[in-house]
Structures are given as structure tokens and as C-alpha cells.
Amino acid sequence: MSHYFETADGPQTTREVEATIFGHHLTFAAGRGVFSGSRLDPGTAVLLREVDPPEEGHVLDLGCGFGPIAVGLAVARPRVSVEAVDVNEHALELTRLNAQRHGVADRVRVGTSAQGPFDEIWSNPPIRIGKEALHALLLTWLPRMKRDGIAWLVVSKNLGGDSLARWLTDQGWPTTKVASAKGFRILKTTWDGE
């Protein structure tokens, strides 16, 4: 769990992670101390395979890790700008590096905070931080969507994907399961229309 909050000390072991995202073969620098630092996380892979990227707009990658969502969206869609946020400084460094590597650094802003409003939010949220912290995180960022915005979340069925969908709906964020693959739920969250 420490990779969510701590920056690993000392020289970082960097690995190359290859993935095909939205039809583009990409190679990412990744490393220890970062969520899924040695491969494309299976949940993130399901999200990127099951949801089509927007044609244009301003997108938030919440909990960006080494940047596969942010960079993948920017590479696939030249009219999309992405703000990639994470609490882990090493993750932010890697996302910056990967955005530069793929020529999209001008459209991928990386930091611990971001400016909305967002057309879409994409996230493999940090479920293991605990229910209370996860709920606070989502209730902080979801209101930063535009009123017609969409949040795409991927959550393991075994880690509460179905119960999270119910909880979000009860909080005024209508959430539906739009896909299920390899034990993961893809959740679509919208405003309640008020």
C-alpha cells in the first residue's frame, strides 16, 4: 500500500513497460515505489480496452501512476488535454517523462492538484487506501466534472466494485456498470442532473 503515499528513497529502479493503448504501441518508464511499477495493471488494461477515448476535451487522470491513461489518451486523441494527478512524486516524475517520450507533454499537465472543470475523469482508484479515504477522494474530485461530464472508474469486483457503484449512486452520482472483464467492473458515473 505504501506506493500510494510515499516516494521511494534513493535511486529508482526504472523498468520499461510496453502496452498497446487505443491501437498505439507505447513504451513507458516505470519503477519501484509506484502503483503497478513493473507492468500495466490488469484493471487499467481493462479500462483502456473497454472504454473509447473522447474525441476532444479536458480529462482528469486521477491517480495517474506512471501515466498509461494520461499518455494513452493524449497520444490517441490530439484534441484531448489531460491533467494527471497523484500523491506520489515519483509517479509524477515518471508520468512527465512518459509524456515527453511520446511527444504529448504539451497536453499532459502533471501534478498533485488540477484545475477543472473536466469533461471526463478516468481512474483506477486507490481502493486499498480504505473505504473512508476512497469516498473522500471521489467526493473531492467528482464535483470538478462538468455537469454533462462522465467519470470512468475501474474497480475489482472482489474489492467492492458493485458496492462502490451503489454508494456513489446513493451520494447523488448515478453510477452504472457498463462492462465486466477479468474480475473488474467498469463503472460510469454522471451528475444526478440537479
Model pLDDT, residue 194 = 52
pLDDT band at 2 (very low <50, low <70, confident <90, very high): very low
Give the separation between CA 164 and CA 161, rounded to whole angstroms: 5
Could you tell me the CA-to-CA distances from 182 to 44, 48, 159, 167 in Å, in that order?
11, 13, 13, 23
Residue partners of 170: CB distance under 8 A and separation at least 6: none
| Among the listed residues 145, 163, 156, 153, the one whose alpha carbon sits nearest the alpha carbon of residue 183 | 156
**4 has pLDDT over 70:** no
Intra-chain end-to-end CA distance of the chain, in Å = 36
pLDDT, one tens digit per residue, over 53-97 is 999 999 999 999 999 999 999 999 999 999 999 998 989 999 999
Domain boundaries, the chain: 2-189
How far is it, in rounded angstroms, from Cα 160 to Cα 165?
9
Rg (CA), the chain: 15
At 171 the pLDDT is: 95
**Rounded to an integer, what is the distance from CA 9 to the centroid of its chain?**
24
Residues forming a β-bridge with 62: 85, 123
pLDDT of residue 124: 94
Q: What is the CATH number of domain 2-189?
A: 3.40.50.150
Report the SS3 class of residue 50: helix
- Is residue 13 pLDDT above 60, yes or no? no
Q: Which helix (H) or strand (E) holds 126?
A: none
Tens digits of residue pLDDT in 108-154: 999 999 988 999 999 999 887 888 999 999 999 999 999 999 999 99
